[in-house]
Amino acid sequence: AFLFLAPYLIIFVLFRFGPSVAGVLISLTDWNIIGDINFVGLDNFKKLFQTDYFWTALGNTAKFVAIVVPCVVVLSLALAVLFNQKLRFKGIARAVTIIPYVLIPAVVGVIWNWMYSYKSGILNYYIGKAGMEPVGWLIDQKYALISIAIVIIWSYLGYNMLLFLAGLQNIPQELREAAILDGADSRQSFFKITLPLLRPVTSLVVTLSFVNTIQVYDQIYVMTNGGPGTASMTLVQYMYTSAFKDYDMGYGSAVGTVIVFILIAVYFVTNKILKSEVE
């Protein structure tokens, strides 16, 4: 078994586990990539929690998650229910829905950058046709974070729809038929039978959406680079800026370590919920 697992384990240790451990160790140092590495203990974390930029990035990340995760869960479930019906061309519709997820994130950012453009974007073109003023989707602090959240929701819908669709198709049809015979309408059948049986899948979708949303970087970098100002700067964006623009690898690694602990906490909480639901 270990022989067959070896290729993956080697890649995992070299490119996942190893760098993660190295990141935690670097977070305890003062290092600018080129100079000597000086051990400073928890000083980077003390500095981190005393810096306004960190709390701004954490707040933006929380807002980002609060917008994306509920929308992804609700909309992907709605699509799964729709595509689980007897519809013509539903196979094509499913394939079209999954396309945004398989696109390279940077490409998605470029496409939406053009659509959101203040002067030449297609959205503002039709807004102008309606007699309204153009919207600064990516250049106005009020709209930047929400605009990126819409892009992420659009990207994640297809994949999570497939997860819900698999869950729906695993629900025995006999249960729905029995509910109908007992006088339940479609709404009661959905809320009393379908949703409870989808709880394990829902927990999985929530976990994956939470983890993926916290780690979003490519689209933000391409579309706003954390701006305007700090309006769309998330923890991952702040980590990159600190490490590779300010050349403070220790401080940037401290931000990354905080992100890792947040993800671990989310995993254990959702895993506990998922385990209890399965039992």
pLDDT tens, residue by residue, 58-69: 999 999 999 999
**pLDDT higher than threshold 90 for residue 36:** no
**pLDDT higher than threshold 90 for residue 178:** no
pLDDT on residue 150: 95
Spell out the SS3 assignment of 20-86: HHHHHHHCCEECCCCCCCEECCCHHHHHHHCCHHHHHHHHHHHHHHHHHHHHHHHHHHHHHHHHCCC
DSSP character string of 194-205: IHHHTHHHHHHH
Q: What is the pTM of this model?
A: 0.87
DSSP character string of 185-251: -HHHHIIIIIHHHTHHHHHHHHHHHHHHHHT--HHHHHHTTT-STTTT--HHHHHHIIIIIS--HHH
Reported as a pLDDT band with limits 50, 70 and 90, residue 71 is very high
Reported as a pLDDT band with limits 50, 70 and 90, residue 149 is very high
Mean pLDDT of the chain, nearest integer: 89
pLDDT on residue 269: 83
Reported as a pLDDT band with limits 50, 70 and 90, residue 274 is low
pLDDT, average across residues 194-211: 87
